Amino acid sequence: MNTIQPNRIAVRGLKKSFGDNAVLRGVDFTVRSGEVVVIMGPSGSGKTTLLRSLNFLELPDTGTIEVSGVQVVRNGGKLTRDDQKKIRAIRQRTAMVFQSFNLFPHRTALENVTEGLTSVKGIDKARAQQRGMSLLDRVGLAAKANEYPGRLSGGQKQRVAIARGLAMEPEVILFDEPTSALDPSLREDVLVVMRELAKEGMTMLVVTHEIRFAQDVADRVVFMDGGVVVTDTYPASFFNSPASPRVREFLHLIDG
Ligand code: ADP
Ligand code: MG
């Protein structure tokens, strides 16, 4: 990219504890519009908590979160009415894809995708179905529109979940280990969809251990350990010449 894009995500001094377990201990990073940033780090380092804090599924204790120009400053205490309004705005601009898919089991693939269109966006059923079909087609699942999640493979479920996220026309997509629950043979179908989204310029923050994806697609790799960002660098330097011993140790582990 040769023009400097604005920040889509900016996190400053983010802290979050559960009781006396300080999980995020001052996290800072930014993601520019159209960037793909991969977050890596050992289990328990706070990656999920960070992602969930970005759209306030977890309430951060202190720090600043800015998503798509909407800024919430936390300094302990309760959320003000103004904060709540901003959080709704952030959620409207953000989609989240979970490790565990989180589809409605008693709704078909198509109904899972159109649910938000009719209930949140108030789009009429016929148009929602049309949009839903074109999104399912985009993730390669038009033929599965009327199947229930129980009859889909993990990779297909995850692609339905991505289509559902896209239905809300997000400006940012947060992925939390989207392929970790999948058999290796099913991962690639999901990664192909993610690669296409990246190519189309979607802003993506992706927690993943998929090395190839990170090497090919990421603009940067943010490495977290112990609730802080240890390194934030280009994939080539992260994988080929990691400066930190903690990164080297981590890469050794995930490389098997
Ligand atoms: P990661 O995704 O990097 O594996 P997590 O953010 O899931 O890490 O977890 C980091 C730490 O936060 C863990 O010690 C975990 O037990 C704790 N934790 C996460 N969510 C909660 C919660 N809702 N209540 C209490 N502790 C939590
Ligand atoms: Mg996690």
Instruction: Of 183, 120, 185, 110, give the one whose Cα is nearest residue 142.
Output: 110
Residue 232 belongs to what domain range?
A: 7-255
Residue 75 lies in a domain: yes
Q: Which strands sit side by side in the sheet containing 220-225, from one edge to the other? A: 94-97, 172-176, 203-207, 36-40, 220-225, 228-233
Mean pLDDT of the residues in the chain: 95
Return the half-sphere exposure (C-beta side, CA atoms, 13 A cut-off) of residue 239: 19
Mean pLDDT of 159-165: 97
Cα–Cα distance between 231 and 239 in angstroms, integer? 12
Residue 1 lies in a domain: no
Considering every ligand atom shown, identify the ligand nearest to the alpha carbon of residue 40 and give its number. 1
For residue 48, the CA-to-ligand 2 centroid distance in Å is 4
pLDDT digits 0-9 by tens, 165-187: 999 999 999 999 999 999 998 99
pLDDT at 254: 85
Ligand 1 binding pocket includes 44 (Cβ within 6 Å): yes
Cα–Cα distance between 218 and 181 in angstroms, integer? 21
Residue 2 lies in a domain: no
- Which residue's C-alpha comes closest to atom 15 of ligand 1? 44
| pLDDT higher than 60, residue 1 | no
We report the CATH number of the domain holding residue 102 as: 3.40.50.300
pLDDT digits 0-9 by tens, 62-97: 999 999 999 999 999 999 999 999 999 999 999 999
* pTM (predicted TM-score): 0.95
As for how many domains the chain has, the answer is: 1
Mean pLDDT of 127-131: 95
pLDDT at 97: 97
Cα–Cα distance between 235 and 219 in angstroms, integer? 7
